[in-house]
Structure 1
Amino acid sequence: MRIAVTGSTGLIGSALVRSLLADGHEVVRLVRRRSRTGPQPDGSTAVGWNPLLGQVEREGLAGVEAVVNLAGAPIGDRRWSESYKREIRESRVLGTETLAVALAGLEEPPKVLVSASAVGWYGQTGDEVIDEDSPAGDDFLAEVCVEWEAAARPAERAGIRVVHPRTGLVVSPAGGAGAKLFPLFRLGLGGRLGSGRQYWSYISLADEVAALRFLIDREDLSGAFNLTAPEPVTNAELTAALGRALRRPTPFPVPEAVLRAVLGDLSVEVIGSHRVVPRRLLEAGFRFAHPDVDSAVRAAL
């Protein structure tokens, strides 16, 4: 199968591309630098696009059967200034709209667009168990996710099957929150964040990639799917799992006041609570390789 991927150099995108290439699929990477287009060392091909300007080299998408859209500015890399919040929003909403319009305009559109979203769609939900039927939240990330998913509608109107994987915390030392947490825990400097009672809905990187491929292949599936392990855990439970796996103590909790002072608006996501479950994914028959937090952490190591 010929599959196009945006965000192919990120944590999830790079793992997905490796998996697809290993199984003999043809991968087309959408990249922003023209100097990086053409054949790639790993066997993929790169074509240019500029998501903010609405530009895509459509000829490079000829014959593509599936598209996975993972592009977007990182959520946790820096403090959320107003300009960076704008970048978070525009990189997702404008990028998805650019891609959806381009795909809809192809002479032979792909069969499926798997266009990323996040569990932030639900807002802060405390201890309540949340599935795909739950309503959208009203905080910044929830608003971004609602616009992000809506931006794919031109593809849906063109008859392309559209799937929105709402991903939780990907447990990996290679990127995302894990790139910051794992080194601290290895040094014995880890601890719960805030009260530790907030729920973190996580997924192993291997299960994330497997779920994305499951959604590509299943022609009967569309709409929103939560990509989270079946049993969400609290931050304190995740902290304990990291300590057990690394055989390190976890004695250094970080108070909420410190998190707010250091992270600003981003602290809402760190001390907020998302108890999200993957109901639709389980009903569709997907099986998790790492359904519990200890196995997810061991897989990451």
Structure 2
Amino acid sequence: MKVAVSGASGLIGKALVPALRADGHEVLVLVRRTPRTADEHRWDPQHRRIDPSLLGDVDAVINLAGTPIRPRPFTAAYKKSLLDSRVDATSTISEALATAAAADPGRRRVLLSASAVGFYGDTGARTVTERDGPGEDFLARLCVQWEGATAPAEAAGVRVVHLRTGLVLGRGALLLQILGLVFRLGLGGRLGSGRQYWPWVSLRDEVDAVRFLLTADDVSGPVNVTGPEPVTNAEFTERLGAAVSRPTFLAVPRFAISLALGEFGRSSVLAGQRAVPAVLQDAGFVFTHTTVDEALRAALSGA
């Protein structure tokens, strides 16, 4: 297949692009800077500009573009950046794919577009699958608009999959960089009550799920890309402490997280989703890392 990838410089993209090439796919990388290699092609998602011929003969686009969500307060400017970067990139690709589909309706195309389990909002201990509706907080509303930006491609007959990804555990993941340092200093512990669910997925399984979905012609719509056994923050804390051989007896109180991180802390740290990968499992995908212990060991060892 000929596959275009946006957001290839991120954690997932860096692992995905070489895996796709190893599978024998021809990969085009969309970049916002001056291209450095023959397989890189410039686009301008901020102004919704892309060479109309660039996606003309591609079989698939994997859209991972968007400003990274980092542990910082959700200021108005930061929220705008998070939303605009995702909607602009997705709209640009979706509209270009729709144009390509109109010009060559015989070619079967697929758009695998990033989203997040934040779509569901804070679901407490209730298990959620792809059948559940959206939450009401900022991240949930962001995901709704993010996914909605694929409408032109879907209307043109492109198979669209929304990758509702959980916390990706891999070497270089920001979450593990921050928590790993804290735990190695002996300051690790649960965050708030610790009862909020953290839907995780190993980087290996994230990449493998994308590769699987490229050719899963009967799968479309939302797909939870999460490990099969979600855990609470308290359980995650305990497992990470064991993985790095450090105690986890401390706890960061809810008010401190809310005070330091504001809305981000309340919606991303103190809230969570008990999301399970129902669609992936029903489609026959087999996870390499089925428990958070396995995923953490792989991430910390670089496997």
TM range (shorter): over 0.9
- Per-residue deviation, 1:251: 3.0
Which residue type is aligned with residue 225 of structure 1? Answer: V
Amino acid aligned to 1:281: L
Distance 2:242 2:277 in 1: 26
User: Which residue of 1 is the match for residue 246 of structure 2?
Assistant: 248
Q: Are 1:230 and 2:228 matched, yes or no?
A: yes
Which one-letter code corresponds to 2:48 in the other structure? Answer: G
Seq. identity, %: 51
The answer for the alignment partner of 2:280 in structure 1 is 281
> 1:6 maps to what in 2?
6
Number of matched residues? 295
Aligned to 1:116, the other structure's residue is in SS state: strand
Q: Is the 8 A contact 2:199 2:226 kept in 1?
A: yes
> Is the Cα contact below 8 Å between 1:170 and 1:176 reproduced in 2?
no
Q: In structure 2, what is the Cα distance between the partners aligned to 1:217 and 1:162?
A: 12
> Does residue 1:55 correspond to 2:53, yes or no?
no
Residues 174-194 of structure 1: CA deviation (Å, up to 9, x unaligned)? 123222112222333221111
Give the superposed CA RMSD. Answer: 1.4
Assess if the C-alpha contact under 8 Å between 2:199 and 2:274 holds in 1. yes
Q: Is the 8 A contact 2:71 2:261 kept in 1?
A: no
Q: How big is each residue's C-alpha offset from its partner over 1:219-245, in whole Å with a ceiling of 9 and x where there is no partner? A: 111111101111110001111111111
- Selected match of 1:132 from 104, 121, 130: 130
Instruction: Give the unaligned 5+ runs of structure 2.
Output: none
Q: CA deviation at 1:37?
A: 4.9
Query: Is the Cα–Cα contact under 8 Å of residues 136 and 142 in structure 1 kept in the other structure?
Result: yes
Deviations 1:250-301 (A, max 9, x none): 2332111111111111102100021111111111111111111111111111
CA contact (8 A) 1:11 1:176 kept: no
Deviates more, 1:249-258 or 1:239-248: 249-258
Aligned residue in 2 for 1:93:
87
Cα distance between partner residues in 1 of 2:171 and 2:182: 11
Out of 239, 248, 254, the residue aligned to residue 237 of structure 2 is 239
The structure 1 residue matched to 2:192, chosen from 165, 172, 194, is: 194
Displaced runs of 4 or more, over 4 A: none
> 5 Å matches for 1:76-225?
76-106=70-100, 107-108=103-104, 111-225=109-223
Q: CA deviation at 1:24?
A: 2.7
Deviation sequence 1:150-205 (CA, Å, 0-9, x none): 10010011111000110011112412322211222233322111111111111000
User: 8 Å contact 2:184–2:244 — kept in the other structure?
Assistant: yes
Q: Which residue of 2 aligns with 1:42?
A: none
Could you tell me whether the CA contact under 8 Å between 2:71 and 2:264 is conserved in 1?
Answer: no
- Structure 2 SS opposite 1:56: coil
Whole-Å separation in 1 of the counterparts to 2:149 and 2:129? 22
Query: Is the contact made by 1:47 and 1:57 (CA closer than 8 Å) also made in structure 2?
Result: no
The Cα shift of 1:110 comes to: 5.9
